Chains A and B, each alone.
Chain A
């Protein structure tokens, strides 16, 4: 059983039905720790010590957040900036994250079509996640294909509960599967 760390960042969680469903679907699971960053650090003073300890214990890390302006909410960026220290997460001696798995679990208002070369955003979502992918690689993390809930503005309850189930199953898979095959940019597991 792997230890899973969900780093959840949403500045207005109480208004996000989609993320509530997603989070509720995994909140009761054993060996899954959810760190609600906006609840822990309303003043952006992220505790490096506490975060690094949590990271150290985890085997699978999930950055769970909505996409705002093609990136994560600012507190998660703050988290990345100050927790992934030189000499700890990367650089000489920075080996503490080595070979752990990491994945983005994201929600977007735009549909799958909007995030395609024909769509409004002109690029697939994976292109926008490039900074996260590269961050992970620099920290010697294995970056997994993202879990993506798209079109959240129009999502129906049925679709949403389906997505919740899917997230739940994925987390279970990451926790329990003997080996995990979820290479980046391979959509087959999602569909």
Chain B
């Protein structure tokens, strides 16, 4: 199979077939892409003829990882980064050092030359940013303690790439021949410079990135934005990322790290969201290709021939990494279920090791067979760890969560016994809570974001740390004594869990649930929830009301219209929910409801009010009076 289009068709088709299936099976897109890669790879369908081709694609698409870090940087403000510096330094660094140390020790034990052992151990300490972050984002766990820990570790690993690349050349076995030396490929222009100058240029490059981020990119984007050519803006966004990567490559730094830095600096920029939305598709596409390339590079011949060696190394490294991460998670007091996700999630060897293996091979630290074996191990670990995650998510975690609720219940002793339990204290929940408080009702508030809890406590709110979706915590928060439970969480899944728990354990509680939209409300109605609050219904009607007022409508008339519209919308929801299971019928019913809604409101306008509401409308009275006068006149005339 050759030719650009043919290749493109194969790759894209494979992705389109495999990824939705993987997602449907609850495996996440990463595993889907990996499987797609394996399927089109040389050992199954053979669309990609050899691993070399896969590796080429992999290198080309590594750029997706760079973009992903840029995008992550965009979402992280410098202040945020400063707050997690502890996490990055302590946890991240200990993970790298401990893992390397143990792997190095094993390497020495099995009598690998120490240079090779060191190169292997350093490469294997790193995890796959692409896999981990992608799946964390898909599971919406980035803001949970588990997500933050993972991110901290990954960030430290990215930083560690710099010294690792610097150390490798020092390991060159004296007298060994450099295999196919190609300095341009791995190292940039500064190789020929003396050490101090190299260091200087590294700092110089970082300085340039920071300066550009502060003063260069803003005006550039501003200038481009003014042209109102959208593709030019996209091009500029790409230029920023590509340019930084180039600069970093030049001085031998990790492009991903540079891009991340630039992203963080641009996080406060007004163009942040525009950049995000422009780069997101590129990132997704490149990452997808990258994962597929990883899948296709798995050398099954080698794996079959040396199955025992490769599988034992793979599972060995996964085990070592996971154990170390587990210990670190324990120290950081992650609860067991999160800790397992954290450890298994980061247990694979990362894509960066492909780079170091290639580099070490050139430098003559590795032999060809050693490099092949390691490549296979890495690719295999990248495939196995997502599978392990799926197994964990589906089988172990649900049970664990249940057990954990029983024993590990020391999160926060909640002394309050209030009538109202308020779950979630973000923008939505805090408004509810403030209003209740202003009316003299103290709610017991639970929130699972430790930083928010701390911050709100400083402001004098009684907010407690804890996940509202655990029956025992709800109980200690006084669910038995309370009469109302308000869920102000914006995560629909968590809301649903909450509803289930309340139904089973606290049936006396009046449950009030925030819903995102109509569909959300339907699901909750199906579960028997009566008090459903669509989060933007009232605000949007209020906005329309104000807009009509600005157009010259009388305020009170519009207010009554708005109220009527609101009631109508709520009522139509109750009708529609019965039809949502039958999709066709639902669509036609929706259309019907919309039509009714439209005709209702236009009817109101043309009649100055609704069809049945003649309130304050004197037209009919005037008519009646007129005909009465007519009658009496007629009578008078008759009399005459």
Residues of A within 8 A of B (CB): 43, 45, 48-49, 81-82, 85-87, 91-92
Contacts and interface: CB of A to CB of B under 8 A. Distances in A.
A86 B560 contact: no
A81 B616 contact: yes
Contact of A86 (B563, B612, B613, B621): B621
B565 to A, nearest CB: 11
B interface SS class: helix
Contacts of B508: none
16 contacts: A45-B560, A45-B563, A48-B613, A48-B615, A49-B612, A81-B615, A82-B613, A82-B615, A82-B616, A86-B621, A86-B624, A87-B614, A87-B620, A87-B624, A91-B621, A91-B624
Interface string B604-635: 00000000111110001100100000000000
A interface SS class: loop
Nearest to B556: A44
Contacts of A48: 612-613, 615
Find the residue from A48, A81, A86, A91 having the highest chain B CB count within 10 A.
Answer: A86
**A-B pairs with lowest CB-CB distance, top 9:** A82-B615, A45-B563, A86-B621, A92-B624, A91-B624, A86-B620, A85-B614, A43-B563, A45-B560
B616 A86 contact: no
Interface residues of B, number: 11
Contacts, number: 25
Contacts of B615: 48, 81-82, 85
Find the residue from B563, B564, B615, B621 having the highest chain A CB count within 10 A.
Answer: B615
Contacts of A86: 614, 620-621, 624
Contacts of A87: 614, 620, 624
A91 B614 CA distance: 14
Contacts of B612: 48-49
A45 B613 CA distance: 11
Nearest to B610: A48
B344 to A, nearest CB: 53
Contacts of A81: 615-616
Interface string B2-25: 000000000000000000000000
Contacts of A85: 614-615
A43 B541 CA distance: 15
A81 B617 CA distance: 11
A159 B612 CA distance: 46
A48 B610 CA distance: 12
A81 B615 CA distance: 7
Nearest to B564: A45
Contacts of B621: 86, 91
Contacts of B624: 86-87, 91-92
